[in-house]
């Protein structure tokens, strides 16, 4: 039966509450992870019996969102589009590590309940769409049977913990940090002590030298490092906190701390507790992330470290010198030797993250046929098969190509990342998945042989679920009027980078209809090819040109700057998106 306390949520009371107050009240009333019996009842009795607090809040703790009607935010009101009686279900995959049996189970559910398509996400998850309430219990139970879960994939909780997708096999890694990823996931996902955080909370633990799980944009970013102890190297971690994107990007603050291996989980728990217990972060939904302690509350890295040391009950050692990756590309696409002699891993492009049930089934079969049945999802929405005997790698690559998962391909295909867009998301302004595929195909035709690394990220709204702030070229979805018609458009941001040269992408003041984006990018990239200096990559090329010059390159002539058209203040409560 519905909670009697929730029955008192009258229209009069709701009118007096802000969105933050309402969500905080609902979280205090119950732990949604205790609501499985209600989900089963909704499945028996139908969509019409689901109360608003489940539709708008509680389902998220189960990795479940209502699906948009395809029109995105412009089809609704109050900063959110209309929902239909279908759900997105996000499957949490810590470190992106899967077995063939698990991927085969996801493929089967995709075929039966999700119209045959799924999406790989930028946090190493897999999302299903078109799921009905009647089928939701069966989806959850089928996942549990293969030790997969959706709890913690959405909601005001610790999200999927990410890590290097080639952990344990990377020939150059400092350490295999995946055991720590899995331990942190076991501690936090579904733990009642952490069901009620102010907002989403993201963790990355990377043992590689490439920092390929993007620690700089996580609430907690741990990167492996060594220090000498008695003339021997001791493996530990650098620690960054408060990273995040959305409408106000902030690259995580590095703390003066060396975190030993056995301190990692207590440190993560301590930071999660600091976040959980911060009442000031609960006052506004749009300012509820950990980064706002730095951006709005005047915290410094030193103060944060002092608070953390007090919380965990011991003092962390001072940091040691680190060496952030210098313009390292992190897509893992291709064939690479592992540290295990005689073995390789094979990385394939799932263009803009879209993958079919048939492709997942085939990839699972190929992983068993040519390797040991181990696969990984990446933060660039791609798929890897690891522990492949090197003598099988070329044949496996050809088999993956045959099912539409390219091992290699153009710079445009390898670097393309896209959020869900209006196809499924109620907050999106533009369609992104089909647009991204078309854009890649156009650029491949216009610039054959372009061989420079290019991170090309498409996000359908300012929330940056497509991570346009860290791309070489980031496209942010807008609407503009063209001959009395409202059409999809994109605003250009360039020069985003992580690692040694970390910087958020610069909004250059140029916007054009979606149909004109390929031509604008062709002009920009041809200018780069013509005028680049010896050894100059795109990041450096963009850095040495002004916004006015870059607008001219994009437009083909001098044009005045255009504002980004951020959402109005009354809609800011929606900011944060439904992304990972």
| Residue 351 is assigned to a structural domain of this protein | yes
The per-residue pLDDT for range 99-127, each reduced to its tens digit, is 999 999 999 999 999 999 999 999 999 99
What are the residue ranges in the chain where pLDDT is below 70? 1-15, 566-578
Which single residue is written with the structure tokens 């850095």? 543
Same-domain pairing of 462 and 522: yes
Question: Coil, helix or strand for 567?
Answer: coil
Answer yes or no: 90 catalytic.
yes
The residue segments making up the domain with residue 65 are 4-145
Same-domain pairing of 451 and 564: yes
Answer yes or no: 460 catalytic.
yes
Same-domain pairing of 80 and 118: yes
The per-residue pLDDT for range 59-81, each reduced to its tens digit, is 999 999 999 999 998 878 778 89
Residue pair 242/250 in contact (Cβ under 8 Å)? The answer is yes
Answer yes or no: 466 catalytic.
yes
The per-residue pLDDT for range 176-223, each reduced to its tens digit, is 999 999 999 999 999 999 999 999 999 999 999 999 999 999 999 999
| Residue 286 is assigned to a structural domain of this protein | yes
CA angle 479-156-26, nearest 5°?
A: 100
Residue 76: per-residue pLDDT: 80
- The token duo for 310 is 């007090």
Model pTM greater than 0.85?
yes
Residue 13: per-residue pLDDT: 54
Provide the pairing of β-strand 334-337 with 343-348.
antiparallel
Which one is catalytic: 22, 159, 200, 354?
200
Q: How many CB atoms lie within 10 A of CB 48?
A: 8
Same-domain pairing of 566 and 425: yes
- CA distances 263 to 114, 175, 357, Å, are 41, 15, 41
| Residue 564 is assigned to a structural domain of this protein | yes
Same-domain pairing of 131 and 180: no
Which one is catalytic: 35, 81, 236, 466?
466
Residue pair 158/197 in contact (Cβ under 8 Å)? The answer is yes
The closest of 37, 42, 10 to 25, measured between CA atoms, is 10
Same-domain pairing of 569 and 442: yes
Cα–Cα distance between 209 and 299 in angstroms, integer? 29
- The neighbouring-strand residues paired with 227 are 234
Same-domain pairing of 386 and 430: no
Helix (H) or strand (E) holding 535: none
Q: Sheet containing 334-337: give its strands across.
A: 97-99, 374-377, 383-389, 343-348, 334-337
Same-domain pairing of 359 and 507: no
Residue pair 517/487 in contact (Cβ under 8 Å)? The answer is no
Which one is catalytic: 90, 352, 376, 426?
90
Same-domain pairing of 8 and 131: yes
Domain count, the chain: 4
| Residue 161 is assigned to a structural domain of this protein | no
CATH no. for residue 51?
3.90.480.20
Provide the pairing of β-strand 456-459 with 416-418.
parallel
Same-domain pairing of 365 and 451: no
Same-domain pairing of 365 and 488: no
Answer yes or no: 202 catalytic.
no
Alpha-helix residue ranges (DSSP H) falling in 240-319: 264-276, 292-295, 301-312
Residue 15: per-residue pLDDT: 60
Q: Distance from CA of residue 394 to its chain's centroid?
A: 30
Which one is catalytic: 27, 60, 92, 199?
199
- The token duo for 110 is 């995709």
CATH no. for residue 497?
3.30.413.10
Same-domain pairing of 135 and 194: no
Cα–Cα distance between 105 and 352 in angstroms, integer? 22
Answer yes or no: 81 catalytic.
no
| Residue 151 is assigned to a structural domain of this protein | no
CA angle 414-524-567, nearest 5°?
A: 80
Residue 570: per-residue pLDDT: 40
Which one is catalytic: 208, 465, 493, 512?
465
Question: What length does the chain have?
Answer: 580
Answer yes or no: 352 catalytic.
no
- The neighbouring-strand residues paired with 337 are 344
Which one is catalytic: 460, 474, 509, 576?
460
């Amino acid at each position: 039966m519905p909670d009697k306390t929730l029955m008192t949520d009258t229209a009069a009371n709701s009118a007096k509450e802000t969105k933050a107050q309402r969500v905080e009240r609902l979280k205090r009333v119950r732990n949604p992870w205790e609501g499985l019996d209600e989900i089963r009842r909704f499945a028996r009795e139908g969509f019409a019996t689901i109360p608003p607090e489940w539709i708008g809040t509680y389902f998220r703790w189960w990795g479940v969102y209502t699906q948009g009607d395809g029109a995105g935010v412009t089809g609704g009101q109050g900063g959110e589009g209309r929902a239909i009686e279908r759900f997105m279900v996000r499957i949490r995959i810590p470190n992106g590590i899967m077995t063939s049996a698990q991927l085969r189970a996801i493929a089967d559910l995709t075929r039966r309940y999700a119209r045959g398509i799924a999406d790989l996400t930028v946090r190493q998850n897999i999302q299903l769409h078109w799921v009905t309430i009647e089928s939701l219990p069966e989806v959850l139970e089928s996942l549990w049977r293969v030790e997969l879960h959706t709890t913690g994939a959405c909601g005001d909780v610790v999200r999927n913990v990410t890590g290097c997708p080639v952990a344990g096999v990377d020939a150059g890694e400092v350490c295999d940090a995946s055991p720590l990823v899995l331990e942190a996931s076991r501690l936090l996902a579904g733990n009642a002590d952490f069901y009620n955080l102010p907002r989403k909370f993201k963790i990355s633990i990377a043992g590689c030298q490439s920092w390929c799980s993007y620690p700089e944009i996580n609430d907690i970013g741990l990167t492996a490092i060594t220090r000498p102890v008695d003339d021997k190297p001791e493996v530990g971690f650098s620690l960054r906190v408060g990273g995040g994107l959305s409408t106000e990007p902030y690259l995580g603050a590095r703390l003066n701390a060396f975190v030993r291996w056995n301190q990692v989980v207590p440190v993560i728990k301590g930071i999660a507790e600091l976040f959980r217990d911060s009442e000031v972060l609960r006052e506004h939904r749009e300012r509820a992330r950990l980064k706002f302690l730095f951006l709005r509350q005047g915290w410094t890295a030193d103060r944060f470290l002092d608070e953390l040391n007090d919380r965990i009950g011991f003092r962390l050692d001072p940091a040691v010198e680190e060496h952030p990756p210098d313009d390292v590309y992190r897509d893992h696409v291709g064939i690479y030797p592992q540290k295990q002699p005689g073995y390789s891993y094979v990385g394939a492009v799932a263009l803009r993250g879209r993958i079919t049930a048939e492709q997942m089934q085939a990839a699972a079969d190929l992983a068993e046929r040519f390797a040991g049945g181990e696969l990984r999802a990446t933060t660039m929405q791609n798929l890897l098969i690891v522990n492949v005997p090197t003598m099988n790698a070329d044949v496996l690559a050809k088999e993956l190509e045959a099912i539409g998962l390219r091992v290699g391909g153009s710079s445009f295909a390898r670097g393309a990342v896209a959020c869900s867009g209006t196809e499924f998301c109620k907050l999106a302004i533009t369609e992104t998945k089909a647009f991204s595929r078309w854009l890649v195909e156009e650029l491949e035709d216009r610039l054959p042989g372009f061989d420079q690394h290019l991170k090309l990220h498409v996000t359908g709204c300012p929330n940056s679920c497509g991570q346009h702030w860290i791309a070489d070229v980031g496209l942010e979805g807008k609407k503009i009027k063209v001959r009395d018609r409202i059409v999809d458009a994109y605003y250009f941001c360039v020069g985003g980078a992580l690692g040694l040269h970390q910087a958020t992408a610069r909004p250059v003041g140029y916007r054009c209809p979606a149909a004109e984006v390929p031509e604008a990018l062709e002009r920009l990239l041809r200018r780069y090819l013509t005028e680049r200096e010896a050894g100059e990559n795109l990041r450096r090329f963009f850095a040495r040109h002004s916004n006015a010059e870059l607008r001219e390159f994009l437009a083909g002539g001098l044009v005045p700057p255009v504002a980004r058209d951020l959402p109005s203040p009354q809609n800011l409560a929606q900011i944060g998106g439904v992304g990972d």
